Structure 1
């Protein structure tokens, strides 16, 4: 099972190496814009039209958000005891719960569960995007940015609109032609590769010798231990999802921190390099924890 996810890290390594070799000749922001405004909407539309809408399809993102928001309430109560500086508190609240549900979650779901996982990983990614552009944006910029403006920013994200369109097409049973579907599938897989390349490019900028380990380790503890534990407890005791869907949901709670955290931290001047360091630590820990995560997931499949 671990070998099946190696292609994911292969493309991350390509992005990392390309940025190291060509430095200023490659602008990762260009790839970010192409991915965000062109290929991610295709990926979302493709993913949300692959399977008919049912109870578990709609319940999965709701359960995901309930778990994440519950943990956020706990972090709001304890963040001032862990960090003294307000910016560090903001980073902790904004970053720790935002997983790489798009960059890694969708391809990892395909590697572990097959193509049948795409509708569920896609709609969980939409839930994650809502969390990012409401709560994370607010925490990153709460000194000079209103929650109302954060809500309005969602309108500018094309993936949201394509998600609604895909759900409308799916709900009404509108069939998609074979040739159109093939084009959507090509765009979806292209999106996955581009996102993994972007992830590697951002990691190439981190200078390990200048890293501060305090915040990244606290954030990684929340992301890789506390959040999955709360999620596992909640799913086992308060849901009736089938084994595969429950396993997909747990996997999405376990994935490392999202690259989009760096974009927002840089946009609002909230220690972007410390956020990047947190992503590096989280991603590295994920490699070592992946075997144990897979054992937990396989337990649910059985």
Structure 2
């Protein structure tokens, strides 16, 4: 049984960061847009590069990364044309982006470290690398298409350094190179900085939100995708894999956990960078994050029982 108390630590930490961002916007009039740019073009690539090297990529682990990247891309590709029928171009682009990702890192990783053994945590990390890769490639493209042409959107993706950070990490690992310990130690500050600034941007954006910007239709779509589609999709994936192969319990639990986390904070970061309704994204992220401690203790044990764990 999942202890709801295990979720309160990550939740309150994230909400405290959101609160700091709200105070920074309201009292210090800080503009979050340069911070979003810093996250996308510097902090996220370094964090991704370091995490990939420390995980020790193997063909088995990279297959997980590829599988989650393809799954996230597929979900977004299916949701994108459906969203266009009911929402404006910018809102549908934001919904399509958010549909392929979740708060697998800021929120999900602390829970994974409680529920999973070390090997399971490693498996989970390579899964979320695939989700992150989706965010800054296919997801970024879908978001950009909300207001840019195909050519402009592709140019924006080519300029994203996270793609090159991924390739550089694979090259370093493939050549068997070992980076200096002092360098790797100095990069240890980036993951926590990534989490802090990523959640603060939500608060900064909320600090500028007016009541009239609350869009219940958009929020309902986000909540339905995050808490209705993804949990059952990941259960279907686990059941299918169990039919095809001997699936380790720790990998099955890691996959189920990916399906029950709230919306990704990077929805706001990317929306801020592209100028596509970051306020609506921030409200939806906050709503799903607040719902997580109530839903996950119910959802995850149910999914585990159905998967025979």
The TM-score bracket by the shorter chain reads 0.7 to 0.9
* Alpha-carbon distance change, 24 to 285 in structure 1, aligned in 2, over 3 angstroms: same
Gaps of 5+ in 2: none
Q: Give the Cα separation in 1 of the matches to 2:104 and 2:270.
A: 17
Q: Which runs of 5+ in 1 are unaligned?
A: none
Q: Output one character per residue of 1:184-228: Cα deviation in whole Å (capped at 9) or x when no partner.
A: 334334433443443444445445675222221122111222122
- Separation of aligned partners in 2, 1:179 and 1:120: 26
TM-score computed with the length of structure 2 as normaliser: 0.78
Following superposition, the deviation at residue 24 of structure 1 comes to: 4.7
Q: Is it true that 1:52 corresponds to 2:56 in the alignment?
A: yes
DSSP-derived class of the 2:55 partner: coil
Q: Which of 223, 234, 237 pairs up with 1:220?
A: 223
Using the alignment, how far apart are the partners of 2:159 and 2:146 within structure 1?
22
**Kept after mapping to 1: 8 A contact 2:22/2:205:** no
Pair 1:86–1:295, CA change in 2 (3 A): same
Give 2:260's aligned residue.
254
CA contact (8 A) 2:68 2:127 kept: yes
**Cα RMSD over matched residues?**
3.4
Partner of 1:287: 293
Distance 1:154 1:223, change over 3 A: same
Over 3 Å counting, the alpha-carbon distance change for 1:65 and 1:162 in structure 2 is closer
State the Cα distance separating 1:80 from its structure 2 match.
5.5
Structure 2 residue 169 is matched with structure 1 residue 163: no
The answer to whether the Cα contact below 8 Å between 1:47 and 1:118 also exists between their aligned partners in 2 is no
CA deviation profile, 1:81-136 (whole Å, cap 9, x unmatched): 6x164444334323322322343344443344366566545544443344334444
Partner Cα distance (1:72, 1:187) in 2 = 28
Contact 1:257 1:283 in 2 (8 A): yes
Please name the residue that 1:145 is paired with. 148
Tell me the residue number matched to 2:195: 192
The aligned counterpart of 1:65 is: 69
Counterparts of 1:137 and 1:37, CA distance in 2 = 13
